[in-house]
Structure 1
């Protein structure tokens, strides 16, 4: 059984964090340490704010990682991602901030994030990051998000 005694949000009423800096990301022990496998989270309705205009920005985020000793607790991840709704930052900063927080929390064997952003000013900006080469023998599926084509 996985030790969840240190979790502060799962199973409790938890208010939405006011910002990503205030959001608490939590982790639990990997239930299969030593076994390399891929974990995927998709957030097809991610939102943040343009830092200059305050207008909403929308993205489809896909996060894949191969855990080492820890896995991210999904409610805390959901609240962390939702905390960007009132956060003003460029697409690149939002995407990389998420990746860096998760790498610092989990120290995964491997992590990648695809930030598929909807157009701002008529130009979609997609942001991709990974920590290195994925480990051999792990099935890492394609992220499956097509490039933006508008109505075409």
Structure 2
């Protein structure tokens, strides 16, 4: 019988290699043990950072990921490392949010996925970007 944790490597003790650039290959998954029903999984971080592609100044955001899994779920530590890998990446808010959505949707093929980036004020204006698979 296959273990639910088979193939998950980031939770094991040992030396960590933190990604220096966004790379979806760091994302790990495990089988959804309840594929017969729809239920929501939500992840949220207030510690997301990326860089403005023009000025190189840091941008800060709350990233919220909500999804209804089909066959696969994303492992949370691998997701954290994936999100933190954007810290040296120069990207506009729209690109960052869409990149996270695209990588997760391609990996998980969920029944529903929403990724929201709520970016802190810059020049007195707050920005929020939301990508929703229902709108696709």
Same fold by TM-score, threshold 0.5 exceeded? yes
Structure 2 Cα separation of the partners of residues 94 and 64 of structure 1:
16
Contact 2:24 2:103 survives alignment (8 Å): no
Match of residue 127 from structure 1? 129
Are the structure 2 counterparts of residues 127 and 25 from structure 1 closer, same or farther at C-alpha, using a change threshold of 3 Å?
same
* TM-score using structure 2 length: 0.91
Uncovered stretches (5+) of structure 1, i.e. residues with no partner: 134-152
Match of residue 68 from structure 1? 70
Match of residue 26 from structure 2? 24
Uncovered stretches (5+) of structure 2, i.e. residues with no partner: none
Structure 2 Cα separation of the partners of residues 131 and 3 of structure 1:
27
Query: Alignment partner of 2:126: what SS?
Result: coil
Q: CA deviation at 1:92?
A: 0.6
Alignment of 1:137-152 (within 5 A): none
Match of residue 44 from structure 1? 46
Q: CA deviation at 1:35?
A: 1.3
Structure 2 Cα separation of the partners of residues 3 and 45 of structure 1:
29
Q: CA deviation at 1:79?
A: 0.2
Give the number of equivalent residue pairs: 133
Higher strand share: 2
Contact 1:7 1:26 survives alignment (8 Å): yes
* TM-score using structure 1 length: 0.82
> CA RMSD, aligned part only?
1.6
